[in-house]
């Protein structure tokens, strides 16, 4: 965020009482949700698919995988998210991304921290194209990664993976069209950071996980750069309940 924006946010935080990130009601402490919004959040956790972490409605054993992952083993080592996509999760994501509510990056990170894998070695945020970064002033995924780094003690690298091509919003496009749109959008910046990727277990940090097209494109680039494993970690994730319900193991 640019200096003026940062100063404004700081002044606002000082002057105003903490508010619920979901509805704006005054709450007891910063980063806390009111009881109504809190109880409406659907936290994601086991039992879930061992490969993609889609929640199962009943426990099928730790190694059980959903039908989609059995048919096509994913390139990632898991897709973790704090909460399922819903009204409150969406509000937090939109305000963080478009309304300069950068404090929500910490709100999200606090609820995401428990999902950082024990053996993770490096956090990498999904990068923004530099034009978009310049216009918005900050990359919300990078802000989340910074807070996760502070909470977990795992270093964050926000420069090695870069977005070399700005892509139009992917909403409403088919799976194939999304994949095609982002295929060549990412690359590694040559240098020390790229050399240090070899053998790492990277946590790829994003705000919202939808189809996986963007993270798949990032993962392909990271794996080509020698990264051993990539776990995706997002604030919120769109759950395809039909897919989970019809899955077998």
Task: Restricting to residues 60-79, name those near Zn ion by CB under 5 A.
Answer: 66, 69
CA triple 235-230-232, angle to 5 deg: 15
Q: Is 9 in the site for Zn ion (CB under 5 A)?
A: no
Q: Which of residues 52, 109, 156, 233 is near Zn ion by CB under 5 A?
A: 52
Size of the site for Zn ion (CB under 5 A): 12
Give the N- to C-terminal CA distance of the chain in Å, as an integer. Answer: 46
Q: Is 51 in the site for Zn ion (CB under 5 A)?
A: yes
CA distances from 119 to 77, 94, 145, 155 (A): 12, 31, 17, 13
Regarding 44 and contact with Zn ion (CB under 5 A), the answer is no
* Other CB atoms within 10 A of residue 10 CB: 11
Decide if residue 218 touches Zn ion (CB under 5 A): no
Provide the total of helices (H) and of strands (E) in the chain, helices listed first. Answer: 11, 6
Among 49, 120, 126, 148, binds Zn ion (CB under 5 A): 49
Asked if residue 125 binds Zn ion (CB under 5 A), the reply is no
**Shortest gap between Cβ of 127 and Zn ion (angstroms)?**
26
Whether the CB-CB separation of 42 and 52 falls below 8 Å is answered with: no
- Does position 20 bind Zn ion by CB under 5 A? yes
User: What value does the CA radius of gyration of the chain take, rounded to a whole number of Å?
Assistant: 18
Of 20 and 194, the one with the shorter C-beta distance to Zn ion is 20
E strands within 54-210?
79-84, 122-125, 161-163, 186-188, 201-209
For residue 23, state whether it binds Zn ion (rule: CB under 5 A): yes
Which of 37, 79, 145, 156 contacts Zn ion by CB under 5 A? 37
Residue 100 CA from chain centroid, whole number: 18
C-beta of 68: minimal distance to Zn ion in Å? 5
Measured from the CB atom, the residue of 69 and 83 that comes closer to Zn ion is 69
Interacting residues with Zn ion (CB under 5 A): 20, 22-23, 25, 34, 37, 49, 51-52, 54, 66, 69
């Amino acid at each position: 965020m640019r200096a003026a924006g940062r100063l404004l946010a700081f002044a606002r935080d000082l002057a105003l009482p903490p508010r619920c990130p979901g509805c704006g009601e005054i709450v007891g402490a910063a980063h806390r949700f009111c009881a109504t919004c809190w109880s409406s959040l659907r936290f994601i956790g086991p039992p879930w698919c061992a490969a993609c972490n889609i929640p199962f409605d009943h426990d099928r054993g730790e190694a059980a995988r959903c039908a989609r992952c059995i048919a096509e083993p994913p390139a990632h080592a898991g897709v973790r998210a704090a909460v399922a996509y819903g009204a409150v999760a969406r509000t937090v994501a939109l305000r963080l991304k478009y309304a300069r509510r950068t404090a929500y990056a910490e709100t999200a990170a606090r609820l995401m921290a428990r999902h950082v894998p024990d053996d993770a070695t490096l956090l990498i945020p999904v990068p923004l194209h530099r034009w978009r970064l310049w216009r918005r002033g900050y990359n919300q995924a990078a802000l989340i990664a910074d807070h996760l780094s502070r909470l977990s003690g795992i270093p964050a690298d926000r420069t090695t993976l870069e977005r070399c091509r700005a892509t139009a919003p992917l909403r409403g496009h088919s799976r194939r069209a999304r994949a095609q749109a982002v295929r060549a959008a990412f690359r590694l910046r040559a240098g020390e950071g790229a050399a240090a990727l070899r053998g790492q277990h990277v946590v790829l940090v994003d705000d919202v996980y939808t189809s996986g097209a963007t993270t798949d494109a990032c993962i392909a680039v990271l794996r080509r750069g020698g990264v051993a494993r990539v776990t995706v970690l997002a604030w919120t994730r769109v759950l395809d309940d039909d897919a989970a319900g019809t899955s077998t193991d």
